Chains A and B, each alone.
Chain A
Amino acid sequence: MDQKTKMIIVALAAIIVIGLAAFAFMGGFHDSDPTHLTVATHSNMAEPEAGFNPLTGWGCGHMNYNPLVQSCLFKTDKNGEIVPDLATDYSISADGLKWTVNVRDDVKFSDNSTFDAKDVAFTFNTAKDTETDLDLTNLKKVTAKNDTCIEFELVEPRSTFIYDLRYVGIVPEEYDNETYGEHPIGTGPYVLDHWDKGQQAIFALNDNWYGDKPYFTQINMLFPEESTWLELTKSGQVDVAPVATSALNESVDGYNFVEKSAGRAQGISLPYLEDTGKTSSAGAKIGNNVTADKAIREALNVGINRQKICDEVFSDHASPEFTSVDTREFANPAAKVKDGYVAKAKQILKEGGWEDTDGDGIVEKDGVKASFDLYYPPDYLDRQSLATVFAEQAKDLGIEVNLKGADWDTIYLNMYSSAALMQQTSPDPYKSIYQQYHSKEADDFYMNPNLYSNSASDKLMEEAMHSTNSDAANALWAQSALVNGGGWGPAGDAPWVWIANYNYNYFVKDDIDMGEQPDGLGNDFLINICEWTRSNSTA
C-alpha cells in the first residue's frame, strides 16, 4: 500500500467520524418532524403477534383500545358516552333480541374500496367464528339489510352488546386471513406503513379518513420492555412513554407526568371450592380447603390495609379497590367492607374455628394450616410487590401465603387450586362482572379463575344482561355484588381480595396536547389521537 492510498483511507475515515459526530450532535437519528409522534406502548397494548387484525384481537381482545388502522361502529366521546362513529344511529327491538344499526354511506377503506353494511356483517360473522378473547357466542347472526343497514340477531337479550359494537374494528369483506395482519386495510385515521417485528410499527395518515384530519401525520409505535421505559424517556426519543412502577417517583426534564384513571383493579382470586380431587379438562386441580373457608376470605378482606398498599407500592398513584368495579357506574358501595381492621380479622378467624394452637404464628383448623400458594406473573414489578406485601400483611393476620412466580400457562394451570394475582380493566360489565363472577364449568379460561358461584347472584347478573334499559341493568349489576349476605363483593361471599385501582401513568413531552380524554379508560391513551397536537413546532 503506497502513501497515497493510506492518506485517502485516513481522510475517508476522518470524514465519516466527523460526519457521524455532527449528525449525533445535531439530534442524531431523532425524528425532528413535529407532526411525527413517537409513542411507547405498555404491556397491555403489546405488539400483536398475529398482526393488526381486529379478528385476532387487535384493539378488541384481551384489552380494548383504539385500533388506529380500523374504526368501529361506535366510539367513546370525551364525556365517556358511547356515540356513533361508522354508525349513524341504532335501535333495539322490544324483546332485546334484534339490534338494528345504520351506517354511513360516505366512507372508503384505505384501499379505496367502498365501506358498506356487508363489511360490518362480514366482520362480526367472522369474529364470531374466530377463537379469540372476544366472546361473541351470544350473537346468532348478522345480516346486511341494505347498503347502510345491519341487523344483529342475538341468542338472548344482552344489554352489554353495545361494548362489542364499540370495540370491534371493521375489516373489508375482501379480508384474507393470511395477509391481513401484516397488511391491514381499514377505515381508521391511519394506515400501517411499516412494521419491524419486535421493535416498532409506523403508521401514516389514511387519505380516505372520513373524520377531521389529525395533526400528527405519522405515528411511530414502539414496543419496548418495561425495564427500558425510563431510559427511553430520559433519552428524549419518545413523545409518550408509560411509567413503570419502579419510576413512579421519578421526574424527567421536558416531560409531564400524566396520570389517567382506568379502573384497573388488581387483586387476588381465592379458590372458592373445596378440594374434592376433581380436575379440569386440561388437568388443573380444582379447589383449596383453606381458601374455600369463608372465614379466611373475609379475614383477608377485612384485615388487609389497602390504603397503605396504595401509598407505598403505588406511591399514591392508586386508590383502594374493594369490588373490582368501584369506579364504574354499576358499583355497589354497600358491598365494600371496612379494611385495615386487624382485630376484627382475627376475631373472624377465631369465630370461624381458626386458631393458632402450635404457636408458630399461623392459625390452624382441624389440623389444617391456614396456608396457600399465591401465583403471580413476575414480569410485572407492580404485581410482584403487591404479592409480596399481601403475603406480609396476611402473615400478621396468621395466614401464610407462599409466593410462586410463574408464567401465565402455569398460573392458569393452578388458578383453580391456588390464589392468583389478577387484574381487570374493562368498562364492559359483561367482562368485568358476568365473566368474572357468574358460575361456570372449569373451562381453563382465565375469567372467574376461582370458580365462584352463587345462584342468587347469578340470577341478578342474568337479569342485568337481559335488561334493555341501561340504568336498570346497572342497578341489577350492583345488586349482584351483595345479595342476601352473599354475592361477589367483599361484604358478601368475598371470593376475591381486590386491593388497588392502579392508574395508568405516562411521561408525555411537554409540548404535546392530548386533548380531552374520557375518565376511566387510561389504558387506551391513543383513544382521541385525532385531537392531539404539538404546541411547540420548533422541536
Chain B
Amino acid sequence: MIKKKYNDKEQWFIYHANLRTKTLVVIGLAIVIILSIFISGYFIRDIPTNFVNAMQMPSLEHLFGTDWMGRDMFQRTIAGLGLSIMVGFIASVVSTIISIILGLFSSFNKFADEVVAGIIDLFSSIPHILLIILVSMMFGGGVYGVIMGVGLTHWTPLARVLRSEVKEIMTKEYISLSENLGRNKVWIAIKHIFPLIISQIIVGVILMFPHAIMHEAAITFLGFGLPPHEPAIGVILAESMHYLSSGCWWLAFYPGLSLLLVVLLFDLIGENVEKLLNPETAQE
C-alpha cells in the first residue's frame, strides 16, 4: 500500500522544498523574465517596415503578427514593454524617494506630521490620470514627461503607509530615550526610524511598479505621452483601435496580454517578497 506522502492542504509543488526556497525561486524566475524583456527591448531599435507583409496574422515567422507597416508586432511589443519597465522603474524610484523624505519628515513633530498628512490628502484628492497628464505636459511631454508624470504622482499610498509606521515607531521608548540623550531629529530619523521601515519600502516599491506601468500605458494610450512612432504599449494599443473594424484582433490582443502578464509578474514578485519580509510568514 502506498502511503500518502503529503496532505492535500499543502500547496502544489514540482519538487520538495520549503516555502522560503520556493518563494525565492518564483521571485528569481520572475526577475529573469522581466530583465530579459527589458534588455532585449533596449536593443530593439528601428524595427524595419515591410509593406508586403503588412497586416499578417500571427504565424511562426511573426509570433504576434504584423502591423500596417509590416513591422513585426512581437518586436514592437517587447520594445514597448522594455520602455514601460524602464519608465516604471525610474518612476518608482522617484516616488519612493519622495515617500521616504515625507515619511521621515513626519517624525519631526506634530506640525510636520500634519503638513505631511495634508500634502498626501491634497495629492490623493486630484484624479490620478488627470494629474499625470498635467505633470507630464508640464515637463514637456515625451519619455521624460511620462516618467516625471508617473513618478510624481505614485508616492501617496507608500507615503501614507510610511507615515503611520513612523507614528507607531515614535511611541517607542528608545526614541524618547534618544531624544533625552540630546540626539537631534534628523539623526533619530536616519538611525532609528529608517532601518525599521526598509521592509515596507521594498514591498511598497515593488507593488508600485505595476501601477506605474499601467498608468504609463494609460496615458500613452490617451495620446498624451509619446509620439506614435515610439513602440510604447499604450501607443500600440491606441493604434490597434484603428484596425479592430478590419478584423485585426492580434494588434490589440497580444500586446495587451503581454502587458497584463508583466504587470502580474511584478505583482507576484511583490507578494512573494512580502511573504519573505513579513516575520509571521517568513519562516513557514
Instruction: List chain A positions with a Cβ less than 8 A from chain B.
Output: 226-227, 230-231, 234, 244, 246-247, 250, 311-313, 378, 381, 384-385, 387-389, 392, 395, 403-406
Count B-side interface residues using an 8 Å CB cutoff.
15
Q: CB distance A406 to B227 under 8 Å?
A: yes
Taking a contact as CB atoms closer than 8 A, the residue among A231, A311, A404 that contacts B227 in the complex is: A404
Q: CB distance B229 to A387 under 8 Å?
A: yes
Of B46, B52, B242, B246, most buried by chain A (CB within 10 Å of CB) is B242
Q: CB distance A403 to B245 under 8 Å?
A: no
Shortest Cβ distance from B220 into chain A, in angstroms? 12
* Complex contacts, B227 vs chain A, CB 8 Å: 378, 403-406
Given contacts A312-B51, A313-B51, A392-B48, contact A384 B228 (CB under 8 A): yes
Q: A230-B246, A246-B243, A405-B227 are in contact. List 4 more A-B contacts (CB 8 A).
A: A244-B242, A313-B51, A378-B229, A388-B69
Within 8 A of A (CB), among B52-101: 52, 68-69
The answer to the question of B278 belonging to the interface, with a C-beta cut-off of 8 Å to chain A, is no
Q: CB distance A403 to B246 under 8 Å?
A: no
* Complex contacts, B68 vs chain A, CB 8 Å: 246, 381, 385
* Complex contacts, A404 vs chain B, CB 8 Å: 227
* Complex contacts, A406 vs chain B, CB 8 Å: 227
Q: CB distance A403 to B229 under 8 Å?
A: yes
* Complex contacts, B52 vs chain A, CB 8 Å: 312
* Complex contacts, B228 vs chain A, CB 8 Å: 378, 384, 405
Shortest Cβ distance from B238 into A: residue: A227
Shortest Cβ distance from B35 into chain A, in angstroms? 28
Q: CB distance B245 to A388 under 8 Å?
A: no
Shortest Cβ distance from B226 into A: residue: A405
Q: CB distance A234 to B229 under 8 Å?
A: no
Instruction: List chain B positions with a Cβ less than 8 A from chain A.
Output: 46, 48-49, 51-52, 68-69, 227-229, 241-243, 245-246
Q: CB distance A384 to B229 under 8 Å?
A: yes
Q: CB distance A231 to B49 under 8 Å?
A: no
* Complex contacts, B51 vs chain A, CB 8 Å: 311-313
A-B contact pairs, 15 of them (CB 8 A): A227-B241, A230-B245, A246-B242, A378-B229, A384-B229, A385-B49, A385-B69, A387-B229, A388-B49, A388-B229, A389-B69, A395-B46, A404-B227, A405-B227, A406-B227
Q: CB distance B229 to A227 under 8 Å?
A: no
Shortest Cβ distance from B51 into A: residue: A312
Of B46, B227, B245, most buried by chain A (CB within 10 Å of CB) is B245
A461 to B120 Cα, complex, angstroms:
65
Q: CB distance A381 to B229 under 8 Å?
A: no
Given contacts A246-B68, A405-B229, contact A389 B49 (CB under 8 A): yes
A247 to B248 Cα, complex, angstroms:
12
* Complex contacts, A230 vs chain B, CB 8 Å: 245-246
A231 to B52 Cα, complex, angstroms:
25
Taking a contact as CB atoms closer than 8 A, the residue among A234, A381, A384, A385 that contacts B245 in the complex is: A234
A247 to B54 Cα, complex, angstroms:
12
A71 to B227 Cα, complex, angstroms:
41
A317 to B69 Cα, complex, angstroms:
16
Shortest Cβ distance from A384 into B: residue: B228
Shortest Cβ distance from B232 into chain A, in angstroms? 12
Shortest Cβ distance from B229 into chain A, in angstroms? 5
Taking a contact as CB atoms closer than 8 A, the residue among B49, B229, B246 that contacts A247 in the complex is: B246
Shortest Cβ distance from A250 into B: residue: B246
Shortest Cβ distance from A99 into chain B, in angstroms? 47
Shortest Cβ distance from A531 into chain B, in angstroms? 32
Shortest Cβ distance from A395 into B: residue: B46
Taking a contact as CB atoms closer than 8 A, the residue among A227, A244, A392 that contacts B49 in the complex is: A392
* Complex contacts, A387 vs chain B, CB 8 Å: 229
A392 to B47 Cα, complex, angstroms:
10
Shortest Cβ distance from A234 into B: residue: B245
* Complex contacts, B241 vs chain A, CB 8 Å: 227
A385 to B243 Cα, complex, angstroms:
15
* Complex contacts, A247 vs chain B, CB 8 Å: 246
Which 8 A/B pairs are nearest by Cβ-Cβ distance? A405-B227, A312-B51, A231-B245, A378-B228, A227-B242, A403-B229, A230-B245, A378-B227
